[in-house]
Amino acid sequence: MTETAQIAKTAAPARPREKKRRNVFDSLIGRSALQILAVVGFFLLWEAAVRWGWLSAFLVGQPSGVLRNLIGSIANGSLFTDTGFTIFEAILGFAFGTVIGSVIGLALWYSIFVARLVEPFIAAINSVPKIALAPIIILWFGTGLLSKVALAISLTSIVALITAYQAAKDADKDLQALLFSMGASKQHIFKRVIAPSTLPAIIATFRINIGFALVGAVVGEFISSQHGLGHVIYVASSLYDLNTVWAGLFTLMLVGFLFYHLVEVTERWLLPWKQQQGGTQINV
């Protein structure tokens, strides 16, 4: 025991100060390589399984077919039109829903009376599965763009509202007291404390609401539409055209992924005082 202790003692300082040993793959390039490998491997396995007859192409589709399908729809431009429709609906729904919800949520901070009055109603509205509203919304707003945007708004606004209101309530009381002792008005306190301290929470809802906005747009398209990725997926699945369904799904995935990164860039830009840390996204 003493011997090993001795060795450890003498060996430790002799070793040059080396950087903490890192995994060979723990770098951007290494990680990307692994990730790409995993994706390619997955598709190859899938393709092989179908070709060797382990899986039925009719039920699960086939990567080569999906790829052919994607190339075809890029060539005839329909992929861009459909993706464009869905993105447009989702962005409008996201923007209006998030803005409307945040504004109402923050406004509730101004009046404790009104806030307490409407709190149970907000809870009630929140507990309704908004997707169940889709048929009525389409009845009211038609089968065009408006109904998809409205559906996306119904999903996103309530999330933004509740988050913004809660964050405003949670804003540091001492910071507010400090400003108040300086003679600050309520508007002033709102501008200097409430708004900036709710911003991180509101941006956090961006991540969630991007998912929700896409849900709203796609579900709206499922129910009735002539365009959009939801339309493509819905029609294809009713024809058992699994390859087209996958092509639509993968495109949706790519859209969500790009939006997600857009939020990260926005966050870094709006919250320079916050240390950047990996966020989580809920996809519904």
Q: Give me the residues that bind another protein (CB under 8 A), please.
A: 172, 174-175, 177-184, 188, 192-193, 196-197, 199, 271-275
C-alpha distances in Å from residue 26, one per residue of 23, 53, 277, 280: 5, 38, 17, 20
In the bound state with another protein, the residue whose beta carbon lies nearer, of 26 and 170, is 170
- Asked if 182 and 145 touch (Cβ cutoff 8 Å), the reply is no
In the bound state with another protein, the residue whose beta carbon lies nearer, of 193 and 247, is 193
The residue assigned the tokens 């009046």 is 111
Q: How far is the CB of 112 from another protein (least distance, A)?
A: 17
The letter for the amino acid at 229 is L
In the bound state with another protein, the residue whose beta carbon lies nearer, of 95 and 271, is 271
Lookup: tokens for 204: 């956090």
Q: How far is the CB of 266 from another protein (least distance, A)?
A: 16
Q: How far is the CB of 168 from another protein (least distance, A)?
A: 15
Cα 212 from Cα 222, distance rounded (Å)? 15
Q: Residue 140's CB: how many other CB atoms inside 10 A?
A: 11
Cα 23 from Cα 162, distance rounded (Å)? 42
Helix runs in 63-143, H state only: 63-75, 78-110, 112-127, 134-141
In the bound state with another protein, the residue whose beta carbon lies nearer, of 125 and 178, is 178
Q: How far is the CB of 161 from another protein (least distance, A)?
A: 23
Q: How far is the CB of 106 from another protein (least distance, A)?
A: 16
Q: How far is the CB of 30 from another protein (least distance, A)?
A: 31
In the bound state with another protein, the residue whose beta carbon lies nearer, of 119 and 172, is 172
Provide, for the chain, the percentages of residues in helix, strand and coil under a 3-state DSSP scheme, each rounded to the nearest 5.
80, 0, 20
Within 8 A by CB and 6+ apart from 213, the residues are 89, 90, 91, 93, 94, 97, 152, 155, 156
Q: How far is the CB of 172 from another protein (least distance, A)?
A: 8
In the bound state with another protein, the residue whose beta carbon lies nearer, of 154 and 163, is 163
In the bound state with another protein, the residue whose beta carbon lies nearer, of 187 and 226, is 187
